[in-house]
Amino acid sequence: MEDIKGKVLKTADLIEYQNGSVVSREIIRKDTGTVTIFAFDKGEGLSEHTAPFDAMVQIIDGKAEITISGNKNVLEAGEMIIMPANEPHALTALEKYKMVLTMIRS
């Protein structure tokens, strides 16, 4: 990712939508955590799972439903939520959306 370091960029422009798909692009990978950008086509998602670390989701385009431990949350561009470590969560695209996922290892 050396090509983007030190440059001003529009976050949403770092990844493109693909029909019927979820695509991702890792922006930072360190032993202490990662930052990844995702683009979800409408109706696509990630099934319920857990992660061993807290994760922050920032919606940068579109609209998503993020379920954490059975509680459904609808997020739109400009909103964020923290998914606690070891709690089941799932993501669904209510319309196509892009997000930044920041995971901090502890």
What pLDDT sits at residue 1?
58
pLDDT band at 106 (very low <50, low <70, confident <90, very high): confident
Q: Which of 81, 93, 83 is nearest to 38 (CA)?
A: 93
d(CA 10, CA 42): 22
Residue 51 structure tokens: 């992660």
Coil, strand, or helix at residue 78? coil
CA separation for the pair 106, 100 (Å, rounded): 19
pLDDT in tens, 21-71: 999 999 999 999 999 999 999 999 999 999 999 999 999 999 999 999 999
Strands 80-83 and 89-93: unpaired
Model confidence over 71-85: pLDDT tens digits? 999 999 999 999 999
Domains of the chain are 2-104 (2.60.120.10)
